[in-house]
Amino acid sequence: MERALRRLRRHHLGVGHGVNPLPSGSGTRSNASMTAGEDVADHVELNRRYWDEQAAGAHGPLAREQWSAAEPRWGLWATPEARARVLPEDLEGARVIELGCGTAYVSAWLARAGAHPVGIDLSAEQLATARAMQAEFGVEFPLVLGSAEEVPYEDGSFDVAISEYGASLWCDPQRWIPEAARLLAPGGWLVFMRYSPLYALCAQPEGTAATELRRDQFGLGRLDWGGRVEFVLPHGDMLRLLRTSGFVVEDLIEIQAPRPAHREFAEVSADWAHRWPSEEIWKARLGG
């Protein structure tokens, strides 16, 4: 539990700039059957309860600092945008969906850059914090209560889909990545940040990441931590999934923690993350 509580992270359905949500009951190309042989919704409810009942209380107090940032800073190590170069160069007028938006500070950064974001998250508590920040900072954009695995917007509604430890960690990649492809217009960008597979192989239920492997890489995917579920695919599986979903991978950025780091985390030390990547950023474009 301590691992997630220290992570930097989400009922009103609004209509964004040129982005049309589907009316209730409308047909769309859903990916609800992408994961076979298991109850595909169990992790959704587990994670909803986890965020609403436990994690949101720890992340809410971080929102004001994140919304106040003059420049986007990514992930555990607050890597500045000027160094990571995560975002597409021209965001003016871009239609953006943030998948698993949490307190929606990423969407706030994008709105200030001229984009038209929509944030979706399964936690009502996280979205309540996001709405409070919108009122405080005077930055408005639609916030949607729902799962990033089944988004109530039409095909091709967005130019950019982005996730910083949102859908990219808490949703089944076999569902949310094809869903992101459905939502994007041809040539649209998918940008997401997640834990690295190497970190996932070394993560422990309690305490910091080990310096030796703790689980097998073959079969790595779903990580059950009791009251919550995370997903980390190995690089080969992720690459194949992106390609079969229609994406062309443009970059994979493995983040190195700086020395000195601005803080330590219970799940991974700055020293560990300076030697090995604890997190990474994928950038891909939808073909067509």
Q: Distance (Å, rounded) from C-alpha 99 to C-alpha 119?
A: 7
The predicted structure's pLDDT at residue 288: 75
Q: Distance (Å, rounded) from C-alpha 4 to C-alpha 238?
A: 23
Chain-centroid distance of CA 168 in Å reads 4
Q: Is the pLDDT of residue 131 over 90?
A: yes
Tens digits of residue pLDDT in 221-262: 999 888 899 999 999 999 999 999 999 999 999 999 999 998
In which band, very low, low, confident or very high, does the pLDDT at 54 lie, cut at 50, 70 and 90?
confident
Q: Distance (Å, rounded) from C-alpha 190 to C-alpha 97?
A: 10
Chain-centroid distance of CA 265 in Å reads 19
Instruction: Output the pTM of the full model.
Output: 0.86
Can you list the pairs that 172-175 forms with residues at least 24 positions away whose Cβ atoms lie under 8 Å?
Answer: 172/34, 172/35, 172/40, 172/43, 172/222, 172/231, 173/221, 173/231, 173/233, 173/238, 173/241, 174/31, 174/34, 174/35, 174/241, 175/31, 175/32, 175/34, 175/35, 175/40, 175/149, 175/150
Q: Distance (Å, rounded) from C-alpha 56 to C-alpha 39?
A: 25
Region 13-21 average pLDDT: 35
Pairing type for strands 79-80 and 95-99 reads unpaired
The predicted structure's pLDDT at residue 263: 87
Region 18-35 average pLDDT: 35
Q: Distance (Å, rounded) from C-alpha 107 to C-alpha 116?
A: 9
Closest by CA position to 43, among listed 98, 122, 120, 97: 122
In which band, very low, low, confident or very high, does the pLDDT at 55 lie, cut at 50, 70 and 90?
confident
Structural contact between residues 131 and 125, judged by C-beta atoms closer than 8 angstroms: no
The predicted structure's pLDDT at residue 19: 43
DSSP 90-136: --TT-EEEEET-TT-HHHHHHHHTT-EEEEEES-HHHHHHHHHHHHH
In which band, very low, low, confident or very high, does the pLDDT at 89 lie, cut at 50, 70 and 90?
confident
In which band, very low, low, confident or very high, does the pLDDT at 1 lie, cut at 50, 70 and 90?
very low
The predicted structure's pLDDT at residue 14: 29
